[in-house]
Amino acid sequence: VTAAVLADCGHKVHLINPFKLSGAGGSIEINPPPIPVHEPGLQEMMDRNYTSKNLSFFGAMPEQISTDFIWLAVDTPINDRDEPLLEPLLVIADQILKAKAKCKTLVVNSQVPLGFCEELEKRTGLSVAYVPENLRLGKGIETFFRADRTVIGSNDSATADSVKNLMSS
């Protein structure tokens, strides 16, 4: 939902799912995947933005990334004690480093424990902001555009302001 909405607002968005496909020697652009959940209007929004080239899909992390934001929106698995398993996020952070990312801000949108974003800042050397996912299943697009509040956390006010500006556009 986040990728589709940001693309619909005119941003160039590259949706990367490194857990589904991997390309030998770099990124492989793929056709839009079918949406695995029922979210009214999402498939049409993704298709429209794919056609307009605002939204592209990759099955592997590009070897060189140059962008203002990398948005981590991974459905964090939970163990039997209801604790988030952070390995998928750490794998992606390592892939970002391997890709020699030229990025201003890493935005975490996944369920993570307190202190994880500071760990990511240390691990990646990037500015990190946390934006808790607040979308309602079946009303994701609507709640993104009409959220009663948006929380942005960061140790750096300039980082928080840049994410706020992105989300306000």
Mean pLDDT of 49-74: 83
Reported as a single tens digit per residue, the pLDDT across 104-115 is: 899 998 889 999
Distance CA 26, CA 159 (A): 29
59 vs 156: which has the higher pLDDT:
156
Q: Smallest Cα–Cα separation from 166: which of 136, 122, 129? A: 129
33 vs 41: which has the higher pLDDT:
41
Residue matched to tokens 């994701």: 140
pLDDT at 138: 78
pLDDT at 70: 87
Percent helix, strand and coil across the chain, each to the nearest 5: 35, 20, 50
81 vs 140: which has the higher pLDDT:
81
pLDDT at 23: 43
β-pairing, 13-16 with 102-108?
Answer: unpaired
pLDDT at 31: 57
Distance CA 168, CA 144 (A): 11
pLDDT at 78 over 70: yes
Instruction: Assign 121 to helix, strand or coil.
Output: helix
Reported as a single tens digit per residue, the pLDDT across 114-132 is: 999 999 999 888 899 999 8
Residue % of the chain over a pLDDT of 70: 87
Residue 41, CA atoms < 13 Å, CB-side half-sphere: 12
Mean pLDDT score of the chain, rounded to an integer? 82
Least confident of 33-42, 90-99, 108-117, 154-163: 33-42
Which residues, 6+ apart, have CB-to-CB distance to 36 below 8 Å? none
pLDDT at 84: 87
pLDDT at 142: 87
Which residues, 6+ apart, have CB-to-CB distance to 24 below 8 Å? none
Mean pLDDT of 22-40: 58
